[in-house]
Structure 1
Amino acid sequence: MNKKIAVLGAGSWGTTLAILAARNGCRTLLWGHNREHMASLAQDRENKRYLPGPVFPENLSVTSDLAEVAGFCNLILVSVPSHAFKDTLLKLKAYLPDGIQIAWATKGFNSDNGSLLHKVVADIFSEQTPAALLSGPSFAAEVAADLPTAITIASPQPDFAALLADILHSERFRTYTNSDLIGVEVGGAVKNVMAIAAGIADGLGLGANTRAALITRGLNEIIRLGVKLGGKQETFMGLAGLGDLILTCTDNQSRNRRFGLALGQGKDRAEAIQEIGQEIEGISAAKETFLLAKKHGVDMPITEQTYKVLYEGLAPLEAVQNLLAREQKAES
């Protein structure tokens, strides 16, 4: 109980990670920006809105005060949506002492300029700040229900990765460490775009063959972009690449897949977002991935067609026809 960690973000995944750390005997503080929501968590000892069921352990406390977070410990795990990532860290920095350690479970890009999130951390703090990312195939509800799960903790600092692994690893939650922060970041962000595409295909009733082809070719796109940005090809064959891609493209617990399903079934974007009622990271990731691919000259046809559906009003069926009409070529 001498270990401490603060988790920023009281959605389903942040709450799950806080519960996991607390179950493992770590003193844990969960922060959320909405005072009323955090007050209800403190009273109910449960996140009835985003993670109904699991009861908070006694060693898990909650707050809406960033100053309290800074005074609690120097190990911060960020699990806010990607569009709020930079702003949350900027607000937190005003309260933080030296020696901060930053980890994040956010999957996406910096919405300001499409940069990877480790660059945001380095810009706000320093290049020497211990930094790590948690990623991999992990639905919050299953982790909270203590179902077997394996994830990747990526960091260029092995000691920091080992510390996080020690806090989170349990008999039912297996942690693997990886030094390829870029590869793990790209895999975690772009798989959400592919999940929207897979959902669209299934919403159109195109079948299992189409879904399998889309996942396979989608992985190719992720690898091409990831390697171009400095990631290692082998990373994309692991949990944070292929594993996360399969999970989010094939199971309806995925918000991104459900969003795509709704579009494929003829619902408009606003209606689909309202139905899901939580953050859908693949929407912004589609734009940011498309722009990154153009900037670096990376061929990403599935991403391009998904972007056009979301941002240019292209009909989902026409997007599929555009993919099928592409010039025949060798598989690569």
Structure 2
Amino acid sequence: MDISVLGCGRWGTFLAWYANKIGHNVMLWGRENSRNFIGLQETRKNDYLTLSKDIELSMSLEKAISYAEMIIISISAQELRSFAKQLSRLSKMQRKTFILCMKGLEASSGKRLSQVFGEEIGKTANIAVWVGPGHVQDFVNDIPNCMVIGSENIEVTKKIVQELNSDLIRFYYGQDLIGNEIGAAAKNVMGIAAGMLDGLNNSSLKGSLMARGTREISRLVRAMGGNDVTVYGLSHLGDFEATLFSDSHNRKFGQGFIQGERFEKLAEGVSTVTALKELSTHYDIQLPICNAVYEIIFNNNDPKETLKDLFLRPVKFEF
């Protein structure tokens, strides 16, 4: 199958590498002024992998869309709406399958990324999400993991899994798009919280963070019409090891924030916590951990006192 990957950051470049590795023809698109793309053009390498010469590099969106039936998108979540508007003006968009490989929510509206993309593209294309745990550096060293593909059409989900499944990544069918998207996005906020605990030398509280964080996100998913059990699967709880106990961008952002160090790379959880604040109000659901992270980042609340108050709340029943 011909597959295009739009976005040549760490994850997008890996996705192109992976699709090629399992036997597909691949085109990787990047912006003309992208430092990542320029580097790939010059050396076909980044910090994690080397691209096969079989993978075609292109700066033309029109060409990338025309090339493939299945199109994988890996860009910043907050850029998705404007990017989708750009795509919607192109020809040959009908009957394409778009797979969104980002974990976030639109900060200004709280909308899920499949909603954002669908509003701009329309109903002529299939939209799916690809979420779950995984480190590029593990995959390129043949260390396997499990991930999730989800869409509103189970036949689309099955088709994608059939084309992308391998011994390196075992896919599960996502049955709850709301739960998968909210869970995948919210785990980045939990990652920031974990980094803050690390920065305060309270890493032992990360077990409590996992348990209570999963619980509060499950309540939100249920209120939004999703299945609260989904949050205990791969998209959220299953992704915690790759976020809360690693060098993930969100955990490093949280730790750096506490220690007064500026973190230069993208931490999607910062925008996501704004979206979750919006959803908390809209659905009248308490999200104490998300709210604490928001107050620390945006309202300069004292991290030590805020997190202490959060985890050492008055005695109450656990469930």
Could you state the TM-score of these two structures normalised by the residue count of structure 2? 0.94
Q: Which moved more, 1:64-73 or 1:35-44?
A: 35-44
| Residue 243 (structure 2) aligned to one of 222, 242, 248 | 248
Q: Matches of 1:145 and 1:168 in 2, distance apart? A: 18
- SS of residue in 2 equivalent to 1:235: helix
1:151 Cα deviation from its structure 2 partner = 0.3
1:306 counterpart residue number: 293
1:79-90 map, 5 Å: 79-90=74-85
The corresponding residue for 2:263 is 273
Task: Sort the Cα spacing of 1:120 and 1:324 in 2 relative to 1 into closer, same or farther, 3 A.
Answer: closer
Checking the alignment, whether the CA contact within 8 Å between 1:78 and 1:105 is kept in structure 2 is: yes
Which residues in structure 2 correspond to 1:116-127 (within 5 Å)?
116-127=112-123
1:71 to 2:66 alignment: yes
Sort the Cα spacing of 1:295 and 1:122 in 2 relative to 1 into closer, same or farther, 3 A: same
Task: Describe the superposition over 1:256-312 as per-residue Cα deviations: whole angstroms up to 9, x where unpaired.
Answer: 011111123x21xxx4223xxx21001111111112112211111111110001100
Q: d(CA) in 2 for partners of 1:179 and 1:167? A: 18
**Structure 1 spans left out of the alignment, 5+ residues:** none
* Letter in structure 2 aligned against 1:260: G
Please tell me the root mean square deviation across aligned C-alpha atoms, in Å.
1.6
2:48 touches 2:137 (CA, 8 Å); kept in 1?
Answer: no
In the alignment, the residues of structure 1 paired with residue 284 and residue 117 of structure 2 have an alpha-carbon distance, to the nearest angstrom, of 26
Q: Which residue does 2:39 correspond to in 1?
A: 40
Aligned to 2:274: 287
Correspondences of 1:206-217 after superposition (within 5 Å)? 206-208=202-204, 210-217=205-212
Match of 1:133 in 2: 129
Contact 2:213–2:289 (Cα < 8 Å) also in 1 = yes
Deviation, 1:331, is 1.0
Q: Matches of 1:119 and 1:63 in 2, distance apart?
A: 28
Partner SS for 1:320: helix
Asked if the contact 2:194/2:203 (under 8 Å) is kept, the reply is no
State the alpha-carbon separation in 1 of the partners of residues 290 and 148 from structure 2.
25
- Once the two structures are superposed, residues 222-267 of structure 1 have per-residue CA deviations (whole angstroms, 9 ceiling, x without a partner) of 1111111122122112111210123311222x11011111123x21
Residues 27/130 of structure 1: CA separation in 2 closer, same or farther (3 Å cut): same
SS at match of 2:122: coil
State the match for 2:27 in structure 1.
29
Tell me what 1:323 maps to: 310
SS at 2:235 equivalent: helix
Q: For the residues of structure 2 that align with 1:53 and 1:273, how far apart are their CA atoms?
A: 20
User: Is the Cα–Cα contact under 8 Å of residues 215 and 246 in structure 1 kept in the other structure?
Assistant: no
Question: Separation in 1 of the partners of 2:97 and 2:297?
Answer: 36
Match of 2:146 among 150, 155, 159: 150
Shift of 1:134: 0.4
State whether residues 48 and 136 of structure 2, in contact with CA within 8 Å, keep that contact through their aligned partners in structure 1. Answer: no
How many matched pairs?
Answer: 317
Question: Once the 2 structures are TM-superposed, how far is the Cα of residue 325 of structure 1 from its aligned partner?
Answer: 5.1
**Counterpart position of 2:179:** 183
Percent identity (aligned): 28
Decide whether the 8 Å contact of 2:80 with 2:117 is kept in 1.
Answer: no
Structure-2 separation of matches of 1:317 and 1:128: 50
Please give the secondary structure, in 2, of the residue aligned with 1:58. Answer: coil
User: Against the structure 1 CA distance between its residues 36 and 199, is the aligned structure 2 distance closer, same or farther, given a 3 Å change threshold?
Assistant: closer
Instruction: Please tell me whether the aligned partners of residues 195 and 249 of structure 1 are also in contact (alpha carbons under 8 angstroms).
Output: yes
Gapped runs of 5+ residues in structure 2?
Answer: none
